[in-house]
Amino acid sequence: MPMQKKFLVGLIGADIQMSKSPALHETEGRRQGLDYRYELLDFSERGLPASALPDLLDEAEQRGFAGSNITHPCKQTVIAHLSRLSEDAEMLGAVNTVVFRNGERIGHNTDWYGFYENFQRGLPDVAKSHAVLLGAGGAGVAVAHAAIKLGIETLSIFDQDSKRAETLAQQLNDRFSRDCARATTDVGSALRSADGLIHATPTGMKSHPGLPIDAEWLLPRHWVADIVYMPLVTELLALAEGKGCRTLRGGGMTVYQAAAAFELFTGIAPDADRMSLHFTDLCRLSA
């Protein structure tokens, strides 16, 4: 019987104990005939500040990890500790997957593809003249890129750090050679002329409960796409569904970015549809 190929990978971030990534990756690894282990390197669990990121990267590399996923709050700060970036990661200035190979740390971004694929499947026919994006951090930059690639004509971007929103809007306009994005400080006003809302902040996660907008700003004609997937139905999505809005849950983005990361770690293409079914089962079990 041939020896199983071994892979040790992980996830670096804060408040990640509820992550579905270990089960999602390990089950697909097993189905591919691999000895595949996925560990959580959690700042919160270890009582460490986010500034301990270099130590966790060193630990992963020294222990022989094939790579690690990167999540909040490290998708941008991790770049300073990498050897080089893939074209996507360099373009977006955010990394969610690091591959350790031949003494190098290579940063990739599979988030934008995850959001793109999820939206294509879940909201294929919605109006795309104007959308509002909440969050211009590491996830926001990837989602914004995907939004323009999806055909959204104008993207209004809000972030608590208004400079960050302005920078992202300018980057998109330069990248796509047209005025496709603008920063906004008034989400309520922007939503009045928007077709939909994309949410890319931690608000709504179990560790950051609440609504990211005033409830009355949302109208039945809006579509709402959330990237938070724990819980699967966030307060924002529950509000939107209650008003009759079309919605897109964050779980699909998680599955498709995970499938792309799995292939980067192993060199083996996973079965994304199978991973999607497994993810739905995991969410049902933990609901």
Give CA–CA dist 40/107, Å, rounded. 18
Q: Are 142 and 109 in contact (CB under 8 A)?
A: yes
Task: Give the pLDDT means over successive 10-residue stretches in the chain (287 positions).
Answer: 83 94 97 97 98 98 98 95 96 95 97 96 97 95 96 98 98 97 98 98 90 97 94 94 97 95 98 95 81
* Selection from 176, 183, 132 nearest residue 161 by Cα: 183
Report CA 117 to chain centroid distance, whole Å: 12
pTM (predicted TM-score): 0.89
- Give the pLDDT score at 207: 82
- Give the pLDDT confidence score for residue 130 in this predicted structure: 98
- Is 147 within 8 Å of 155 (Cβ atoms)? yes
Residue in 5, 75, 149, 243 annotated catalytic: 75
Catalytic status, residue 75: yes
Q: What pLDDT is stored for residue 287 in this prediction?
A: 64
Backbone dihedral angles phi then psi of residue 39, each to the nearest 5 degrees: -115, 150
pLDDT, residue 58, reads: 98
Query: What is the per-residue pLDDT for 231?
Result: 86
